[in-house]
Structure 1
Amino acid sequence: MTLRKWTFTVDSGDAELRLDQLIAQHTDLSRRAAREALKLGGVQVDRKRVKVAGRMVKPGTEIRVAYDPDLPPVPTMAIPIVFEDAWLLAVDKPAGIATQGTWATDRHDLLALLRTQRPDLKLFLHHRLDQGTSGLLVLAKDARANPGLAAAFAGRDLEKLYLARISGPLEACTVEAPIGRLRGADPGRFGCEGDLMEPKSARTDFRPATAEETAGLAPGHYLVARLHTGRTHQIRVHLAHLGRPILGDALYGGAPSDRLWLHAWRLGLRHPVTGEDLHLEAPPARFLA
């Protein structure tokens, strides 16, 4: 990925210029590339995405532009539905797509695909999966489910199990180590040690997956991870902290692979409206032998 970003403020001499002209003038993008960045959602005016090339912008306004010329075509895949009722929608997110819009696009992500697949729905997001991670993601489709679902994820009143593959064996253990963003890290990443920005408590339980749980999967060392907190990259960071990074996780020192071997596998929660106990599962099909 060759993501490029610019931030500039409109000055008085730019008052008569269209937005695409402003972008071409203040970046090294052509007007054609500027219009492409706008169409993909890579332009923010005062922190809000704008897609209208002809928009006029007042002096003093902050413009942010992100452009990735290597973005693939906008995906059109159907997102598998795991569970649906009047209030909730649970899906099996494919690996390789972001949960929601990135700097450069709001057309290549899961929410954009779901808007295309289910234009009748207004969906509310309360948790996320990393771009390389596949598996269960639950959204509210009715505002009445929002408070309960938000509280469940904020308070960890649920059971979240992930399946991960690592390069060597690891005995059952619990990691309780704070996680924070590593100051100055490029590319940006998180850690449990070093100069951490705003570290927060984090706890993950790990155990080896059983032969029954991994039947039919590609041979390897699999772990079941249970999250008790919801920090960014938590499983990836805690396994790297143990010296057992996830296979394919180049950001945290994992052995090279064609994929990130991490899957949101099972989720247990109380239905935020009906009170029913839900036990959802997305089999790790992309790990099959």
Structure 2
Amino acid sequence: MEIRHFRYFLCVAQHGHFTRAAEHLGIAPPTLSRQIQDMERELGVRLFERNQREVNLTAAGQALMLEAEQAVRQFEAAQVGAQRAGRGESGLIEFGYVASAAYSGVLQDHVSRFTEAHPDVRLNIREAPMADLPAQVRDGLLDLAYVRSPMALPSELEAIALHQEGFVLALPSRSRINELKSIPASRLANETFILPEQVSGTLEVAKLGGFEPRLGPQPGSLVAVITLISLGQGVAIVPESVVSRIRLPQVSYQPVADSQASSWLSLVYRRFEKSPAVLRYLETVRQAL
């Protein structure tokens, strides 16, 4: 038996009449009658009691009706589910992100836009060390990743450039540098630099100041970086968005005079991505730009 046999059977049961059921199905009554007879022959039971005016379900027909209704519902649900997944309207997207994607509001904006348009796509979103994110996307452990550029990417990946911002100096509040009205890069030559995951700002400021930076620890998250600064362990060059998002005791933020160093968030994805849901998300991001 095929799913059409169940549909024919249910239609006859609902109408209680072969001719009316055949009209509803758009087939000839003899064709419908043969399909039901084929079912009865294969099952080895009678499904309907027939007379000239109507047909009624037998006990076997009543038992089959419950299962047939469920089978047809499941089949139709499977069809709809496959079609929606193929259109990118359902499924799962695995995300990784660096903290500054959240501090800047870019992550929230993209996710809210996407979930409003595609509420049935599940998003699994987690913060991860930036150095690990590109390889995880390349290897299929993640579908997408928000990173802070510039950074080298594997050849299998591409990136959409997003929010760009400058850097600021984070330093202990009790540091004498805070007394300066303007902090030149050269004034930082003797400082220990706590390194965030994106080190380009540190290197650019050191280049501007004409010195080799004294490198301290690279503790991971921006919160960990700012915590070390609050403990007097050094200074750090961090994205501007940190100023309004991470406020810890004993920490000040100051611009570096004449520094044009900047970085930008990027959304990293596989070059030959096939997932309809992921492609829908990328489309949402491009529209947001």
- Category of TM-score, reference length = shorter chain: under 0.3
- Normalized against structure 1, the TM-score is what? 0.24
- Normalized against structure 2, the TM-score is what? 0.24
Structure (1/2) with the larger strand percentage? 1
Task: Between the two structures, name the one with larger relative contact order (CA 8 Å, sep ≥ 6).
Answer: 2
Which is higher, the Rg of structure 1 or of structure 2? 2
Structure (1/2) with the larger helix percentage? 2
